[in-house]
Structure 1
């Protein structure tokens, strides 16, 4: 039950942050809010989970709260997919290709960076 509460609390906070990201960032034609939260999430989740494994200083419940809960609800693959389909349906195929390409390639680069930042700051694995 304790683990479930951690995921619920993190999910609550992450979904609120996700909502405010879409309200604060004005998106005209290009889904900047979704791109931003997904790229931020790529780096943070990679850093968090690598830090949890390398340093072993992050309690599993905190990893659940921040990883599964907060970042899981903050990032959104389903919105990314729907926005891509909508761009294609509206004939903006070039924008859709750019959106998918940036999301995948920059997302992978940020995840790689997050892992390396955690490893550099954490030393060798125990």
Structure 2
């Protein structure tokens, strides 16, 4: 009786211990990765510079309420609400638009790290109630902004299409 070859497992080493040949193929998640990384990095730099500009224009005084960070985060959430409706409901965007603008520019513009630092600074500075108010107000403002902007954009798009 002839022996049947043992089934092979994709990616398993051959009996000699050598890894399988790769034949120069890229995995699906690797296709386009350099271009996506480049646009996210470029967009992130633009967004971070815009946020830094806002912080320079409207600095938060020591011990003061961080209105600039709250407004930047709420504005960024509103813009992402508009953006997501436009690229999903209105027009088919190029595959790099979403990573550039959504992840890059808006991700660089909005800031969780500064928000968290501001909460910690307020709490450590003897203003725990203000820190909690800021924590809750930013969350509510961000959620309300994205919801209101997306809803208004959908209504505007539907009205214009009639």
Q: TM-score, normalised by structure 1?
A: 0.89
Q: Does 1:119 align with 2:139?
A: no
Larger RCO (CA within 8 A; separation ≥ 6): 1
Which of 63, 74, 99 lines up with 1:64 in the alignment?
99
Which of 37, 41, 53 lines up with 1:4 in the alignment?
37
Q: Which has the higher helix share?
A: 1
Q: Does 1:42 align with 2:101?
A: no
1: CA distance, partners of 2:79 / 2:95? 16
Quote the residue 1:31 is aligned against: 66
Q: Secondary structure at the match of 1:59?
A: coil
Q: Does 1:18 align with 2:55?
A: no
Unpaired runs of 5+ residues, structure 2, are 1-33
Q: Give the ranges of 4+ consecutive aligned residues of structure 1 lying more than 3 Å apart after TM superposition.
A: none
Q: For this pair of structures, how many residues does the alignment match?
A: 124
Which of 121, 125, 129 lines up with 1:86 in the alignment?
121
Q: TM-score, normalised by structure 2?
A: 0.71
Which protein is bigger by CA-based radius of gyration? 2
